[in-house]
Amino acid sequence: MDLVVRIWKDPVWSKLIATVIGASSTAVWAHVEGYLTLATVQHAASAAYDLLTTDYPYQPWRIVVGTVAAAAIGAWMMRLRMQKRIDAAYEAVEYPQQPSSEAKPASPATYLTDVLFGFRWRWKIAAKSGDVYGMKLYCPECDYELQPAAFDYPYGGGAVCECDNCHYKQGIGSDDPALFMNKAKLEAERRWRTGEWKEQRADRS
């Protein structure tokens, strides 16, 4: 503790620590789009600087407070950024550009659902072009519709999707739900285009 006190009282080290904390917070903010304004960041930085530079009889607690605060803010901002990506992924597969009026939707007897990459998917498809749109994600065990909140991000791994109803859990092989959903869309279109879905249906019958 005496060593920490001496380091913090040293003018060079104290400024260096404050600079690192401020730079880390700014770097995290730079990855978050649309959630914070420059004015908000400047205000937070000013308040943090005032806290760090005010004279107190005993100062080591500033390191702990500053580090914990920076880590908490960084985690919160990264979570917001990831949630934004999840919402964008769902919008991309549920509300894409609709097919042209000339392209009539396929009949219900055709290829409108399949199990892809460990999950049940349902969608609409344009009969002529084979464009898949309006995709929704379901649990393959209980058929419960999975929402954006079902995605979780365990430390050190890719995203995992868990069913709130039966707790079926499956990794998606990526930390970006948008890429995963687009991959499922392309696979559905491939199976429709090649007729592979008919062979699979015949095998099951």
pLDDT in tens, 139-192: 999 999 987 666 776 655 678 888 999 999 888 877 778 888 899 999 999 998
In this prediction, residue 111 carries a pLDDT of 87
For the chain, the domains span 2-93, 99-204
Whose structure tokens read 């040293």? 10
Contact 135, 185 (CB under 8 A): yes
Predicted confidence band of residue 10 (pLDDT cuts 50, 70, 90): low
Tokens of 70: 């920076």
In this prediction, residue 15 carries a pLDDT of 59
Is a pLDDT exceeding 60 seen at residue 61? Answer: no
DSSP codes of every residue in 104-117: PBPPTTSS-EEEET
Q: Which is it for strands 119-125 and 160-162: parallel, antiparallel or unpaired?
A: unpaired
Q: How far apart are CA 199 and CA 195, in angstroms?
A: 7
In this prediction, residue 199 carries a pLDDT of 78
pLDDT in tens, 16-40: 566 556 655 554 555 454 445 566 6
